[in-house]
């Protein structure tokens, strides 16, 4: 089993690795068609590090934070040997329903162009489109091209999802995002999806973003201010809290809509308990590096729970902060 098979799951990658060995090379060299999983993965890795330094080299970037060069100290990113870039890129393919057909389809040069392309590809509804136009993604992306339709690292072993996956998840929860709705965003990261939820017409409702890395919670508060949405924090429409999202957030329960931004081995019981009658939970389920599915879980007015699979995905794991930081 190859390293990529190990990290992505043999069932996902194996059909695309049927290459041919190059004679006299000393080790098998695999043919990679341009649209194959490894070729896409290589492109994605290079998107993170266009010129990956050699093992042990210091990580730097021309991107700046408040005018200063962005270094790994800003992002808390640890340099790893180059043969582990594949693992990092694989884990960073957050929320990609099909890495062969979907990623990079809707990229744009501006936020509006990105949303236009999402809409042209029939990913975003009118309501989702309006919410996404009201939040400029560049205010929530730490490093990289904010308008690229792909995930980007935000440090601390976490990533911000690809825009098309945000659009998909918003569409799945759109019917629950009505005036007075209570929304829980588990693994809120830099606050982008939390801000999108809050941008729906939701008078008298509340959106809670829960993140277990306190530094990211602090960053999300700053990002709301950069995006001109600090009033949402002041008037109580949005709460950004630090905690273990696997346990939900009881003070504001029950929730009409719950979104989880990382893959759980199984659905946390607390999230089912805190789901309101008539509510919906969208959560990726599956082992780290293995087969994962985006599940849609509904609770009807009688309290009965039903579940269906929306699509196959690849997410980083829903885990505790210590494990996440240790394996970043």
Domains and CATH numbers, the chain: 3-92 (no CATH), 111-147+161-326 (3.40.50.150)
**Residue 315's pLDDT band (boundaries 50, 70, 90)?**
very high
Q: Over 60: is that where the pLDDT of 145 sits?
A: yes
Asked if pLDDT for residue 307 goes beyond 50, the answer is: yes
Tell me the mean pLDDT in the region 242-258: 98
Q: Give yes or no: 161 in active site.
A: yes
Q: Which residue has the tokens 């939040």?
A: 135
Please pick, among 161, 188, 199, 220, the residue that the annotation labels catalytic.
161
Question: Does the pLDDT of residue 59 top 50, yes or no?
Answer: no
pLDDT for residue 51 is more than 90:
no
Q: How confident is the model at residue 58 (pLDDT cuts 50, 70, 90)?
A: very low
pLDDT at 60: 35
Q: Is the dihedral of CA 313, 124, 89, 74 positive or negative?
A: negative
Q: For residue 257, name the pLDDT band (cuts at 50, 70, 90).
A: very high
Helix (H) or strand (E) holding 75, with range, is helix 72-75
Do residues 317 and 292 touch, judged by C-beta distance below 8 A?
Answer: no
Alpha helices in 111-252 (DSSP H): 111-120, 126-133, 163-173, 192-198, 214-226, 230-234
Q: Is the pLDDT of residue 328 over 90?
A: no
Paired tokens of 28? 């098998």
| DSSP, residue by residue, 165-186 | HHHHHHHHHGGG--TT-EEEEE
Query: What average pLDDT does this structure show over 48-55?
Result: 42
**pLDDT for residue 48 is more than 60:** no
pLDDT, averaged across the chain: 77
């Amino acid at each position: 089993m190859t390293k990529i098979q190990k990290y992505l799951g043999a069932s996902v990658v194996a059909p695309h690795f049927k290459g041919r060995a190059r004679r006299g090379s000393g080790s098998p060299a695999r043919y990679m068609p341009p649209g194959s999983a490894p070729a896409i993965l290589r492109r994605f890795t290079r998107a993170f590090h266009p010129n990956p330094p050699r093992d042990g080299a210091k990580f730097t970037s021309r991107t700046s934070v408040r005018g200063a060069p962005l270094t790994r100290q800003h992002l808390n990113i640890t340099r790893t040997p180059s043969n582990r870039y594949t693992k990092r890129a694989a884990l960073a393919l957050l929320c990609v329903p099909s890495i062969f057909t979907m990623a990079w389809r809707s990229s744009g040069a501006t936020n509006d162009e990105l949303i236009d392309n999402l809409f042209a590809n029939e990913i975003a509804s009118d309501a989702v489109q309006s919410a996404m136009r009201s939040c400029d993604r560049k205010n929530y992306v730490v490093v990289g091209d904010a308008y690229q339709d792909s995930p980007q690292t935000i440090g601390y072993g976490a990533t911000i999802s690809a825009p098309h996956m945000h659009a998909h998840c918003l569409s799945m929860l759109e019917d629950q995002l009505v005036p007075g709705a209570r929304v829980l965003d588990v693994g809120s990261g830099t606050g982008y999806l939390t801000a999108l939820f809050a941008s729906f017409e939701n008078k008298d409702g509340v959106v809670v973003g829960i993140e277990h890395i306190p530094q990211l919670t602090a960053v999300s508060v700053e990002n709301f201010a950069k995006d001109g949405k600090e009033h949402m924090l002041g008037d109580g429409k949005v709460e950004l809290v630090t905690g273990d999202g696997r346990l939900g957030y009881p003070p504001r329960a029950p929730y009409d809509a719950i979104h989880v931004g990382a893959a759980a081995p199984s659905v946390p019981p607390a999230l089912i308990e805190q789901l309101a009658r008539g509510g919906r939970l969208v959560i990726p389920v599956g082992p780290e590096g293995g087969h994962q599915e985006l599940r849609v879980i509904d609770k009807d007015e009688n309290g009965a729970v039903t579940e269906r699979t929306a699509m196959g995905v690849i997410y980083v794991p829903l885990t505790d902060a210590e494990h996440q930081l240790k394996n970043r």
